[in-house]
Amino acid sequence: MDPDLVLLLNGIVSGLLLGGLYAAAASGLAVSFGMLDIVNIAHPALMVMGAFTVVLIGTTLGLDPLLVAVLQAPLFYLLGIAIYGVYHHFFERRGEEALQGLAFFFGVMFIIEVGLVMGFGPEQRFLDPPYAFTTLRLGEIDLPLRMLAPALLALAALGLLYLYLRRSFTGLAIAAVAQDAEALRLMAVDPVRIKRLAFGISVALASIAGGALVVVQPVEPSSGQIFIGRVFAICIMGGMASLPGCLIAALLFGVVENVTATFYGPSWSPAVAFGWLLLVLAFRPQGLFGKAA
């Protein structure tokens, strides 16, 4: 096979796998930011916190990191409910959620990062499952399980969330609260309760993303910072409240980054990926799957 074609195919495949990690990281934000309009800038920090607890529990009990991420998700759900409770009580209820709410989540991010340094130390932490050192080879295409397993978990989590939002009454209520909270109240549903529940789900997804992250790379308390720009960009590009949009935007983001890195050098990757975001927004301001206002 032509060497350039091999490079291109591998760039696309590795980009899709990287996109799986991005999808895991961005899916929770698609719920909190996309559907609830809560600018949770601490989401990547919550993901890193999830990664640290995965390392702690996984190392202690000898469990697979992805399994631990799923098992601890209910605890993160409760944490999300608690965070939303504080946010709602002090900011949203008073109508001060815009700027001061943003400052609140910035503070949460800072507290999480410093808390992780104090609790775990600033060193890199890792938990490599045995499959992390295995690479499947399909002809000329490499499929490292280190990237494939987290991508599959992300797809499964997104699929389940999608079904929940489309098929269950509560899921439909979450979609509705994003559009018109007052109308929801007229249907005898408490929008605050629905938002609390949805925010809990978004933080539970941060736990899953944390498990995916720790399989892909070692984590340190400040690891979340490199994801902040990317996850918000993916949410916006996907169309804010659209989960399929979030997934496709994440995959495209990964492919654009990796193909660019292969042929033009990694320095160009972020510029091309974010340039592509601008291009999408220029022609479709509502994002790839968003509905025009």
Partner 1 sequence: MNTITRRDLGRLSLAAAVAGAGVTAGVFPAVAQSANPIRIGFAMALSGGLAGNGRATLLAYQIWAAEVNARGGILGRPVQLVFYDDQTTPGLVPGIYTKLLDVDRVDIVTSPYATAMIAPAMPVVMQRNVTFLTIFGAGVNEAFKYDRHFNMNVVGDNMKETYAKGFLDIAARLPTPARSIAILAVDNEFAQKAAESTRFLSRQRGLRIVYDRSYPPSTVDFTPTIRAVQAARPDVVFIASYPPDSSGILRAASELRFTPQIFGGGMVGPQLAAFQAQFGPILNNLVNWDVYSPEPTMNFPGVAAFQEKYRELAVKEQTDLLGNYIPPYAYGQMQVLEQTLTRIGKIDQTAMAADMHASEFDTIVGKFRFSASGEWAEPRNLYVQFQSIRDGDLEKYKRPGAKVILAPENLKSGELRAPYGPAA
- Give residues in contact with partner 1 (CB under 8 A): 3, 7, 10-11, 14-15, 17-18, 21, 94, 96, 100, 103, 113-114, 117, 120-126, 128, 133, 135, 142, 144, 146-147, 216-218, 220-223, 226, 229, 254, 257-259, 261-263, 265-267, 269-270
Complex with partner 1: residue 115 or 189, whichever CB lies closer = 115
In whole angstroms, give the CA distance from residue 57 to residue 54: 5
The minimum distance between CB 109 and partner 1, in angstroms, equals: 12
The minimum distance between CB 65 and partner 1, in angstroms, equals: 14
The minimum distance between CB 225 and partner 1, in angstroms, equals: 8
Complex with partner 1: residue 20 or 290, whichever CB lies closer = 20
Tokens linked to 110: 């800072």
The minimum distance between CB 223 and partner 1, in angstroms, equals: 7
Complex with partner 1: residue 137 or 167, whichever CB lies closer = 137
The minimum distance between CB 232 and partner 1, in angstroms, equals: 14
Complex with partner 1: residue 168 or 217, whichever CB lies closer = 217
The minimum distance between CB 170 and partner 1, in angstroms, equals: 33
Complex with partner 1: residue 27 or 242, whichever CB lies closer = 27
Complex with partner 1: residue 50 or 254, whichever CB lies closer = 254
